[in-house]
A = this chain, B = another copy of it.
Amino acid sequence: MEKTKRYMLAESEIPRRWYNIQAEMPNKPLPPIHPATKQPLSPEDLFPIFAEELSRQELNQEDAWIEIPEEVREKYKFYRSTPLVRAYALEEALGTPAHIYFKNESVSPMGSHKLNSAIPQAYYCKQEGVKNVTTETGAGQWGASLAYAAKMFGLEAAVYQVKISYEQKPYRKSIMQTFGAQVTPSPSMSTRAGKDILTRTPNHQGSLGTAISEAVELAQTTPDCKYTLGSVLSHVTLHQTVIGLEAEKQMEMAGEYPDVVIACFGGGSNFGGLAFPFMRHNFTGERQTRFIAAEPESCPKLTRGKFMYDFGDEAGYTPLLPMFTLGHNFRPANIHAGGLRYHGAGVIVSQLLKDGMMEAVDIPQLESFEAGTLFARTEGIIPAPESCHAIAATIREALKAKETGEEKVILFNLSGHGLIDMASYDKYFAGDLQNHTISDAEIAASLQS
């Protein structure tokens, strides 16, 4: 009997509905609060910034299943289903009895899971007569995906890219430009928010927080322009559940069910996208799967942050969100996993973590690259620095299973490949990377600022 390595779905089995965990989680997230009125937000409050349908999805706590529009599903077919892969070679290298599976989102043409939400966001904007979309991007995965999705639907795209990433990863900027997007390093002098930040901190290297401020300001001050976001918000994670819904069917094809589900964690969309469809079976008591979010040691909002209302951006333009945060002024170290350099966690994940429905671990930078290199040399795919964190957490669990002799089934999300992040690997091999630990005092200071 031949061993199967990759499981694929027929196009007709690509999900037709996203899973909205807000409708079924034991305790609903607290409401986002309007910073001026201090009142809970309504969808209408979000209309000036986001497409209306996306605003409604953001706050929808009623409907567990949301129809995927047919035009979105047609675009998903450009690269979905993505493979579910059994990592036999990694298992063998670790000598673990664990069965390791990964969902390979790196096969998307943009190299990551981000397109799953870029497509519907661009689609709904187009439907509502929007002409321009704007966004922020860190490592550039999201910006590239939005640029392409905008092109698909005939929209113009303007992207603020975190300055340090703009400089470290020039190819991502080139990819966005290939799709016709306009790319600006953030903080920039093109917005009031950018100018304010640069005045306070002249050499600011940028963060997702600064770039969000600039993009939101552009959307608010430009006609027919909406803001879009690549993570953190609940509607983004909703779209990403296409990952977990596919994975569920594919695990069934493999005749297994995960004991542990792992994903790296920046704002929460790739984590929630994979985890939430499985988590619903924990709510009913049918399963007791463990869910582990792997965040960088240098940006430990889940493991060491505080649950409180905080802004989503550095300038304080967004609603106040109830979340685990390091403070919206937290300035993360310049680690190479640019997509994980964000001070807060999405409201759904924050509530789930508070309620003990999931766990979090923090991964030092060097451990993440060590894990990524082992994965590359066994499974052949060079992982994005972000995904390396999920791999490191997976290896920890696989080695625990080796100690106990348990045949654990571990599923992780390979959120993206690292082919455009080779400069980071070069530095790792040259011994030029280091870990970035932060002290309790630093976190406390950031939370108070």
Q: How large is the interface on A (under 10, 10 to 19, 20 to 34, 35 or more residues)?
A: 35 or more
Which residues 382-420 in A have Cβ within 8 Å of B in the complex?
Answer: 382, 417, 419-420
CB distance from A412 to the nearest CB of B (A): 17
Residues A77 and B11 in contact, CB atoms below 8 Å apart: no
Chain B residue at minimum C-beta to C-beta distance from A148: B380
Residues B174 and A422 in contact, CB atoms below 8 Å apart: yes
Given A175-B382, A178-B382, A380-B109, residue A5 in contact with residue B77 (CB < 8 A): yes
Residues B11 and A419 in contact, CB atoms below 8 Å apart: no
Chain B residue at minimum C-beta to C-beta distance from A177: B429
Task: Enumerate chain B residues within 8 angstroms of A419, measured Cβ to Cβ.
Answer: 111, 171, 175, 419-420
Comparing A200-208, A221-229, A371-379, the segment that makes contact with chain B is A371-379
Chain B residue at minimum C-beta to C-beta distance from A428: B178
Copies in the complex: 2
A107 interface residue per 8 A CB criterion: yes
Chain B residue at minimum C-beta to C-beta distance from A108: B380
Residues A426 and B376 in contact, CB atoms below 8 Å apart: no
A330 interface residue per 8 A CB criterion: no
Central interface residue in A109, A377, A423, A429, by most chain B CB within 10 Å: A109
Option from B11, B179, B373 in Cβ contact (under 8 Å) with A377 = B179
Central interface residue in A110, A180, A382, A419, by most chain B CB within 10 Å: A419
CB distance from A448 to the nearest CB of B (A): 42
A2 interface residue per 8 A CB criterion: yes
Option from B74, B174, B423, B426 in Cβ contact (under 8 Å) with A426 = B174
| Interface residues as binary, A284-297 with B (CB distance below 8 Å gives 1, 0 otherwise) | 00000000000000
Chain B residue at minimum C-beta to C-beta distance from A180: B377
Which residues 252-294 in A have Cβ within 8 Å of B in the complex?
Answer: none
Residues A78 and B11 in contact, CB atoms below 8 Å apart: no
| Interface residues as binary, A278-319 with B (CB distance below 8 Å gives 1, 0 otherwise) | 000000000000000000000000000000000000000000
Task: Enumerate chain B residues within 8 angstroms of A6, measured Cβ to Cβ.
Answer: 11, 77-78
Chain B residue at minimum C-beta to C-beta distance from A417: B109
Residues B152 and A380 in contact, CB atoms below 8 Å apart: yes
A151 to B382, CA, bound (A): 13
Residues B78 and A425 in contact, CB atoms below 8 Å apart: no
| Interface residues as binary, A337-358 with B (CB distance below 8 Å gives 1, 0 otherwise) | 0000000000000000000000
A59 interface residue per 8 A CB criterion: no
Which residues 71-128 in A have Cβ within 8 Å of B in the complex?
Answer: 74, 77-79, 85, 89, 107, 109-111
A433 interface residue per 8 A CB criterion: no
A41 interface residue per 8 A CB criterion: no
Task: Enumerate chain B residues within 8 angstroms of A180, measured Cβ to Cβ.
Answer: 377
A77 to B5, CA, bound (A): 6
Option from B175, B373, B380, B426 in Cβ contact (under 8 Å) with A78 = B380
A180 to B423, CA, bound (A): 16
| Interface residues as binary, A191-212 with B (CB distance below 8 Å gives 1, 0 otherwise) | 0000000000000000000000
A4 interface residue per 8 A CB criterion: yes
Enumerate the 8 nearest inter-chain pairs by beta-carbon distance, A residue then B residue, closest first.
Answer: A174-B422, A5-B77, A171-B422, A109-B380, A109-B381, A174-B426, A8-B8, A107-B107
In the complex, 13 of the A-B residue pairs with CB atoms within 8 angstroms, ordered by the A residue number, are A5-B11, A6-B11, A6-B78, A78-B85, A109-B381, A109-B382, A148-B380, A152-B380, A170-B422, A177-B425, A178-B422, A178-B425, A419-B420
Give me the interface of A with B, judged by CB distance under 8 Å. 2-6, 8, 11-12, 74, 77-79, 85, 89, 107, 109-111, 148, 151-152, 170-171, 174-175, 177-180, 373, 376-377, 379-382, 417, 419-420, 422-423, 425-426, 429
A5-B74, A5-B77, A177-B426 given; name 8 further pairs at CB < 8 Å.
A4-B77, A5-B78, A151-B377, A152-B380, A175-B422, A178-B422, A179-B376, A419-B420
